[in-house]
Amino acid sequence: MAAVAALVAVVAWYGPQLPSLAPVTTYQPRQPLQVFTSDGVEIAQFGTERRQFVAIAQIPLQLQQAVLAVEDARFYEHRGIDLLALARAVAAQFTGGLRQGASTITQQVARTFFLSQRFTPERKIKEALLALEIERQLSKPQILELYMNQIYLGQRSYGFAAAADAYFGKPLAALSLAEAAMLAGLPQNPHYANPLTNLERATRRQRLVLARMVATGAITPAEQAGARAEVLKLRSPSSQTLHAEHVAEMARRLVVERFGTDAYSQGLRVVTTLRAADQQAAWDAVRKGVLAYDARRPWRGPEGFETLPAGRHADDSPELEAAAAQALKDYRDDEDLRVAIVLQVGPKEVLAQLAPGERVTLRGDGLRVALPGLAARAPADLALRRGAVLRVVQLRARGGAAAVAGASAPAAASNANPAGWAVVQWPEVQAGLVAL
């Protein structure tokens, strides 16, 4: 009886303080200004929040299952507050067991839209009361739709569609099980589990999601094993859909002049006169020309030098691979210009490791640009030695990359450089193209 009286008192005190549910019942997501080519290819987005609203019917079921498995497995069974999950969390707290969350998807929606992330007893009470009211006014699919479009997932991305593009460069419908599980692991702590900055943590979280999916019956153990074995291809932070920054900036200025700063959150779409294929051809031609020009300039030396363990680790040891990956963490690939660190130097070939851990061998024409660095008396700032950080390109990439390193296409395809990689220099010249 006392418990009921206390509950009534809590509702009577906090109920009038609760905000209107209009933000969730009439959801108007903040969406960025987008600029496109005439044939529908995105050039750029402008806005503080990167978001692509997707109706719940268009969100893949497997992704929904992944999210529910790790965030709220009893979502369709409770009415906003999961007393069973709360009891488990309390028991774990007192018994020293594995820490468990007790907040439901609905409570997270209430917190995201109306409350701060700072934990206080008052916030938890309001969160619970708001969750009960949200469940009363909205259906379960509507609540899940709000959650999957509003939750912050790192990289300025709000919602899973924006996150799929930010991390994998894919629409939701193209995600694999492994990719979906990695995204589903982000809501708890997007910074901690960001795969672009800490793949190891993100992978641990992904595997927890997959295990939970097996436990809930969403996938089979065989599907779990396949997803765990999949090597994920993450989107480079510097990658873009299309290089036309100057046009995007012109469009942004014109739109903001007309609509003000609201243009950054109203989901406006600007279509330019550019054609994607023409713009890409122009970019490729300028890029190839600049790299070819720079390949004929004197060797300026590696981009930097990092310390690698010497002597106690074999060149194929996991310890050396980990040390090399750590040394490259502050360097970034730029499309096909990859960062590599030298592991071993011989008279006619160099063994290097790329940022993701892949080993490449540079020899023959692939070393032409950097030959002065192999000389016995090369100056210290020019020498190719263990720990030197280089920029390399795959000769068969984009069909014309062989010319970048000063090699002919037939030579690049021959046994003179079977690995197909070449050292390039980061260009110091600038160039432009005007098409009439």
Domains in the chain: ranges and CATH: 49-229 (1.10.3810.10), 301-424 (2.40.50.140)
Give the separation between CA 421 and CA 47, rounded to whole angstroms.
38
Angle between helices 61-71 and 199-215 (to 10 degrees): 90
Cβ-proximal residues to 50 (8 Å cutoff; 6+ apart), any chain: 32, 155, 156, 157, 158, 162, 165, 166
State how far the Cα of 79 lies from the Cα of 23, in Å rounded to an integer: 20
Residue with structure tokens 């529908």? 40
Helices 160-168 and 140-150, axial angle in degrees (round to 10): 40
Distance, in Å, from the CA atom of 242 to the CA atom of 41, rounded to the nearest integer, reads 8
Cα 218 to the chain's mean position, in Å?
25
69 contacts 209 by C-beta, under 8 angstroms: yes
The pLDDT assigned to 250 comes to 93
DSSP annotation of 235: P
DSSP per residue over 3-45, as a string?
A: HHHHHHHHHHHHGGGSPPSHHHHT----B-EEEE-TTS-EEEE
Per the document, the length of the chain is 436
Q: Provide the edge-to-edge strand list for the sheet that holds 42-46.
A: 42-46, 33-36, 269-271
The helix/strand/coil state of 338 is strand
Please, what are the averages of pLDDT over each run of 10 residues along the chain (436 residues)? 50 61 85 92 87 95 98 94 67 49 86 79 82 94 96 93 94 97 96 89 96 97 96 74 86 94 90 92 89 87 88 64 84 86 91 84 91 90 92 67 40 44 88 78
Determine the pLDDT at residue 408. Answer: 36
Closest to 357 measured CA to CA, from 338, 378, 374, 376: 338
